[in-house]
Chain A
Amino acid sequence: MAGKIFIAIDRLTSTLDKLSAKIDLWVPAPLQTDKSEPTGFVPYHAGMVPILDRQSTLPPKKILLPQVETLLRFECRKDPQNPLKGSVSLDDKMEVRPALVFGARPCDVKAFLAIDRVFTSGPYVDPYYLERRQNTLFATLICRQADEACFCSSVGCGPADTEGSDFRVIPVDGGYLVDALTEKAQSLFDSPADTPTQDQEVQASQVVEEASNNRVGDLDLEGSAAAFRKRFEDNDYWQEMAAPCLSCAICTHVCPTCYCFTITDEIENLRGERLRSWDSCMFYQYTLEASGHNPRPSKLNRYRNRVGHKFSYMPEKYDGLIGCCGCGRCIRSCPVSMDIRQIVGRLKENAFESE
């Protein structure tokens, strides 16, 4: 059985049709069929044409970490004979089906490695995330579309990075060369398929080599984690950096690595659900305590948290792992054109001069 196949452009859809019969398939596509933008990862349906020529507006994060999910359902039953007595039943069954994410980019896939450390490396392991993680394969597209907002090479990723991927999808003339990288991936290739020609293989290795040599972004993070700690109480710095911020929370919503969540009980009468949903450090309610006190009362504190979490707390806690994949979505989507690269970059300036 071959570890590599060639999918001609005009056979992409029929190949995906076949794949989707075996496994739940997610592809980047317009979120609404009658509009070309915005795009995100959607469940594949027969005949669909995935968008592979540009980065999607939204990353595939929600496939492993849904924006809202039911952790458990509960119901309280009262004993009609004795109203003081009652019982509570809990149901935390979850169904996870094997899935394949086709056409995510190296940054999108690498982002999950950061989330993995938080949700699966202990001491507490999140069974909901873990179950989906173990059942999801990634076919990662070698990226040739880096733009001015991209900086994946600065944060330990790169346009040809395949860490965390099960396949790599290499764009070549007339189609894609798909390379199985893991055993799980091999098993999906059991049906006879087109083996790539010698020429295609040569071209694919050129594409990979070119992408590997492409250094995307020039942010130097050496010493940034420590610089953040030193600057933590430099209110002038944070005031200046966060001044244009609208606290609009777009950055955290389009971010492939932001994973903060909140848990709420949604109750109607005697039954309800415990939900986990995305939170955002840009929100006033983030870390708001029951007493009414919030250790991060202003946008200055909250914006600082976003920078510190990704570029200081995570690398210091997880052996240098940066909580950012360099996809540039927060930069591209920011309505006031804030650039996290500048804010992180300037942390190391010796004397910060406020205007």
Chain B
Amino acid sequence: MIETDTMQLHKLVEEALPELDTMIGWAAGEDPLRTTPVFIRGAKSIPRLILSPFCAQNLTGYLVKPPALKPADKHKKIGICVKGCDSRSLVALIQEKFLTRDSLRIFGIPCRGTVDWRRVMRQVPLRLVRSARVEGNHLIVDDAGGTHKLNLENVLARKCLQCRYPNPVVCDVLVGEAAVSGVTPEDIYRNVDALEKRPLEERLAFWQSELDRCMRCYACRNACPLCVCQDRCIAETRDPKWLTQRMGIPEKFLFHFIHAMHLAGRCTECGECERVCPMEIPVTLMKEKLNKVVEEMLGYVAGLDPAPIPPLLTFNPEETGI
């Protein structure tokens, strides 16, 4: 099915190519468990495009992060592949006027979960991976040590196990059959709920010990399509200066919690911040907590509808939720 979807995508992109400046999708990466973003400008490269459960990256950041990809010819569009979560980033960016809907040709990819290669390596320390594929509820990997059959639940990204929107909420064309979300309402915030049940001291200790590992590389910020302060981030500005260069927990706390606060009611839980973190800090969890608060108080879920103004980007004196 994956192969058919990839072939369908090739055909659709080929048809759309005359009206596209650039097509952003995924291509094979460093090993079969990974993909790399690819920027297609001619028909010759279309065969590089692939669809698989390893297409983890949210590509929407390339549309807004400097140097943002813009069509050289105003009459052309940027084509982009989006999974459910990625499409919500697009909606949020359109809402906030970073993008216009008609500048995009959106190829919607129904998603049955993306594989987190670190979780795979935790199950089996693989070496020289030859091939990897998903069959039913299993990931089958061939490496130097033979064939390994792993339970999908143990190797999918954490965000995928609580995903309510596996299908793109906005797209011009859907590639393949729509996916069905199997999550229950309890699943959606289950990680937040579990942490919230712990006493305050334990929660503080949890974040202290997690953030202690932070190297302040800011990969979480730079991978986030909605971190839009760009080169003016409080973590680094020298005037005004908010943070010292020290590697203390207070510095790391300030950066991470401001990062999270800036995303309150905006974060679409694409999980890029957590996926890229080289120190494996569950940084999306902070944003999930804030999203839960926003949903409970204001009945708002980010990135579903381009029409409304996100609640924290406006001021409504009649607000009843608070």
Instruction: Give A248 to B65 CA distance when docked, in angstroms.
Output: 12
Tell whether, in the assembled complex, residue B223 and residue A285 are in contact, meaning their CB atoms are under 8 Å apart.
no
Tell whether, in the assembled complex, residue B66 and residue A246 are in contact, meaning their CB atoms are under 8 Å apart.
no
**In B28-50, which residues have CB < 8 Å from any A CB?**
29-31, 34-42, 44-45
Tell whether, in the assembled complex, residue B36 and residue A249 are in contact, meaning their CB atoms are under 8 Å apart.
no
Give every chain A residue within 8 A of B122 (Cβ-Cβ).
36-37
Contact of A250 among B45, B65, B219, B238 (CB under 8 A): B219
Q: How far is the CB of A251 from chain B (nearest CB, A)?
A: 9
Contact of A253 among B34, B36, B246, B278 (CB under 8 A): B278
Give every chain B residue within 8 A of A35 (Cβ-Cβ).
280
Q: How far is the CB of B118 from chain A (nearest CB, A)?
A: 7
Give every chain A residue within 8 A of B129 (Cβ-Cβ).
148
A147 CB–B CB distance under 8 Å = yes
- Given contacts A54-B125, A68-B245, A253-B278, A248 and B36 within 8 Å (CB-CB): no
**In A314-339, which residues have CB < 8 Å from any B CB?**
331-339
A282-316 interface bits toward B, Cβ cutoff 8 Å, 1 = contact, 0 = none: 01110000000000001110000000000000000
Tell whether, in the assembled complex, residue B245 and residue A277 are in contact, meaning their CB atoms are under 8 Å apart.
yes
- Given contacts A277-B245, A336-B37, A249 and B218 within 8 Å (CB-CB): yes
Q: How far is the CB of A54 from chain B (nearest CB, A)?
A: 7
Contact of B223 among A243, A335, A337 (CB under 8 A): A335
Give every chain A residue within 8 A of B62 (Cβ-Cβ).
243
Selecting from B72-80, B209-217, B302-310, the interface stretch reads B209-217
Q: How far is the CB of B148 from chain A (nearest CB, A)?
A: 16
A19 CB–B CB distance under 8 Å = no
Which secondary structure dominates chain A's binding surface? loop
A31 CB–B CB distance under 8 Å = yes
Q: What is the chain B residue whose CB lies nearest that of A31?
A: B213
Q: How far is the CB of B59 from chain A (nearest CB, A)?
A: 9
Contact of A38 among B37, B212, B279 (CB under 8 A): B279
Tell whether, in the assembled complex, residue A250 and residue B276 are in contact, meaning their CB atoms are under 8 Å apart.
yes
Give every chain A residue within 8 A of B322 (Cβ-Cβ).
none
B222 CB–A CB distance under 8 Å = yes
- Given contacts A37-B118, A264-B245, A355-B45, A249 and B30 within 8 Å (CB-CB): no
- Given contacts A31-B279, A54-B125, A249-B217, A355 and B40 within 8 Å (CB-CB): yes
Give every chain A residue within 8 A of B35 (Cβ-Cβ).
337
Tell whether, in the assembled complex, residue B218 and residue A248 are in contact, meaning their CB atoms are under 8 Å apart.
yes
- Given contacts A36-B122, A148-B31, A336-B37, A266 and B244 within 8 Å (CB-CB): yes
Tell whether, in the assembled complex, residue A338 and residue B278 are in contact, meaning their CB atoms are under 8 Å apart.
no
Instruction: Give A233 to B279 CA distance when docked, in angstroms.
Output: 35
Tell whether, in the assembled complex, residue B61 and residue A250 are in contact, meaning their CB atoms are under 8 Å apart.
no
Instruction: Give A145 to B67 CA distance when docked, in angstroms.
Output: 38
A254 CB–B CB distance under 8 Å = yes
- Given contacts A148-B129, A283-B236, A335 and B246 within 8 Å (CB-CB): no
B284 CB–A CB distance under 8 Å = no
Contact of B219 among A54, A246, A299, A300 (CB under 8 A): A246
Q: How far is the CB of B67 from chain A (nearest CB, A)?
A: 6
B127 CB–A CB distance under 8 Å = yes
B241-253 interface bits toward A, Cβ cutoff 8 Å, 1 = contact, 0 = none: 0001111000000
B162 CB–A CB distance under 8 Å = no
A262 CB–B CB distance under 8 Å = yes
Give every chain A residue within 8 A of B67 (Cβ-Cβ).
298-300
Interface hub of B209, B217, B275 (most chain A Cβ within 10 A): B217
A57 CB–B CB distance under 8 Å = yes
Tell whether, in the assembled complex, residue B215 and residue A67 are in contact, meaning their CB atoms are under 8 Å apart.
yes
Give every chain B residue within 8 A of A243 (Cβ-Cβ).
37, 39, 62
Give every chain B residue within 8 A of A145 (Cβ-Cβ).
127
Tell whether, in the assembled complex, residue B246 and residue A246 are in contact, meaning their CB atoms are under 8 Å apart.
no
Tell whether, in the assembled complex, residue A333 and residue B278 are in contact, meaning their CB atoms are under 8 Å apart.
yes
- Given contacts A246-B65, A246-B223, A299-B67, A253 and B280 within 8 Å (CB-CB): no
Tell whether, in the assembled complex, residue B222 and residue A246 are in contact, meaning their CB atoms are under 8 Å apart.
yes
A248-292 interface bits toward B, Cβ cutoff 8 Å, 1 = contact, 0 = none: 111011100000001010100000000101001001110000000
Contact of B217 among A147, A280, A336 (CB under 8 A): A280
- Given contacts A248-B217, A298-B67, A57 and B31 within 8 Å (CB-CB): no
- Given contacts A36-B122, A57-B278, A249-B217, A68 and B37 within 8 Å (CB-CB): no
Instruction: Give A169 to B229 CA distance when docked, in angstroms.
Output: 49
B313 CB–A CB distance under 8 Å = no
- Given contacts A32-B213, A246-B61, A335-B57, A254 and B278 within 8 Å (CB-CB): yes
Tell whether, in the assembled complex, residue B44 and residue A248 are in contact, meaning their CB atoms are under 8 Å apart.
no
**In A1-49, which residues have CB < 8 Å from any B CB?**
31-32, 35-38
A247 CB–B CB distance under 8 Å = yes
Tell whether, in the assembled complex, residue B217 and residue A253 are in contact, meaning their CB atoms are under 8 Å apart.
yes
B231 CB–A CB distance under 8 Å = yes
B128 CB–A CB distance under 8 Å = yes
- Given contacts A32-B209, A264-B245, A335-B57, A250 and B29 within 8 Å (CB-CB): no
Instruction: Give A254 to B213 CA distance when docked, in angstroms.
Output: 13
A149 CB–B CB distance under 8 Å = yes
Tell whether, in the assembled complex, residue B236 and residue A250 are in contact, meaning their CB atoms are under 8 Å apart.
no
Tell whether, in the assembled complex, residue B280 and residue A244 are in contact, meaning their CB atoms are under 8 Å apart.
no
B192-232 interface bits toward A, Cβ cutoff 8 Å, 1 = contact, 0 = none: 00000000000000000100110101110011000000110
A interface vs B, CB < 8 Å?
A: 31-32, 35-38, 54, 57, 67-68, 145, 147-149, 240, 243-244, 246-250, 252-254, 262, 264, 266, 275, 277, 280, 283-285, 298-300, 331-339, 354-355
Query: 7 closest A-B pairs (Cβ-Cβ)?
Result: A337-B29, A248-B219, A335-B276, A337-B36, A284-B231, A277-B245, A253-B217
New A-B contacts (10) at CB < 8 Å, excluding given A264-B244, A336-B36: A37-B280, A38-B279, A145-B127, A244-B38, A246-B276, A248-B218, A250-B278, A253-B217, A253-B278, A355-B45
